[in-house]
A and B are shown apart, each in its own frame.
Chain A
Amino acid sequence: MGLTARDQQLVAAIQSGLPLVSRPFADIGARIGLSENETIERIQALLTDGTIKRLGVVVRHHELGYRANAMTVWNIPDDQVDELGRRIGAVDFVTLCYRRPRHLPDWPYNLFAMIHGQNRTAVLHNIESLIERCGLKTIQHEVLFSRRRFKQCGARYIDASPRQPAEGRMHSQSGGPP
């Protein structure tokens, strides 16, 4: 990942959230031996280089009534997948968008987009709107609604084992399963 030891300490200190106090960065800094200013500068640098995608209120969709999620999978011609992927990934109700390999003949799909909604109808409506907005009418696709959730733990960025990779945050909870 290329994080310095100091940045790893910082990431570990903020990954489960800022303390809800008046001067949270002073508080974080005090834990790891940085001044408030240094803490803010390092976080700004991690935002700038994209290590931190966003800083803000991370909501739990399920608890807010967004109970339905569908993994939509699309068979997009290879020469269009980057462009369409970027277009799909920028749609506000799409919470994850990845290119993955096909496995022919069983699995022809190379693009995955996760879509959340308050219920099944809302998700299906969003998919219709996605097809319309991104010009996907002729693209073969399937919709895989989730049924049971057997496990969903928030992937942590830095773990006891420091090289544990995390695919999908959902967010963790920033958006459900990858």
Chain B
Amino acid sequence: MNTLEKRLLNDFQRDLAPSPTPFADMAEELGVTEEAVIGGLRTLTERGVVSRVGPVFRPHRCGASSLVAMTVPEARLEAVAEMINAFPGVNHNYEREHRLNLWFVITADTQGHLQALLQHIERQTGLATLSLPMLAEYHIDLGFPLQWD
């Protein structure tokens, strides 16, 4: 990671001004050419360390979503995770170090559909679900400060 790349990654996670020429603005701040900024961002995107240069949206307030936890016997964990991934609206499915060892987010267009999905998952797996919908969001997303070795 060269110095320009590090600064492109760290210094512009927010407050990218929606000016007609945002990359020329960045270039001026960095003391390089606009081509160097655009080229650098393209390379970082191709390498997969930049997901995009663009917006991060506030989570939706419409529809229904919940964080769901399950206690799954170790031997069945992979199969159950796969089964759950096949349901529409399942996202961010992680094994975690806890008695409740499977955690995922589920979304649906209505609360009724969400409850139906959960019941369906419980029937299909024979396991209980613990549903923990978001009640309030406190995080202020200012980007994430990076540390370099």
Interface residues of A (CB under 8 A from B): 1, 11, 14-18, 20-26, 36, 40, 43-44, 46-47, 50-61, 63-64, 71, 82, 85-86, 88-90, 92-101, 103, 106-107, 112, 116, 118, 142, 144-155, 157, 161, 163-178
Contact = CB atoms under 8 A, between A and B. Distances in A.
Contact of A64 (B52, B105, B146): B146
A167 B54 contact: no
Nearest to B19: A40
B75 interface: no
Contacts, number: 281
A176 B94 CA distance: 10
Contact of A157 (B13, B57, B96): B57
Interface string B7-37: 0110011111011111110000000001000
Contacts of A55: 14-16, 18, 54-56
Q: Determine the interface band of chain B, counting residues with CB < 8 A from chain A.
A: 35 or more
Contact of A56 (B14, B62, B147): B14
Contacts of A53: 55-58, 141
Interface string B125-141: 00000101111111111
B58 A51 contact: yes
Given A18-B22, A22-B38, 18 more contacts: A16-B54, A17-B51, A20-B45, A24-B23, A36-B20, A54-B56, A57-B13, A58-B54, A93-B144, A98-B67, A101-B133, A146-B95, A150-B81, A150-B95, A152-B92, A166-B65, A166-B107, A171-B56
B144 A178 contact: no
| Chain B interface, >50% SS class | mixed
Nearest to A117: B147
A114 to B, nearest CB: 9
B93 A82 contact: no
Given A57-B16, A144-B96, A147-B95, A52 B55 contact: yes
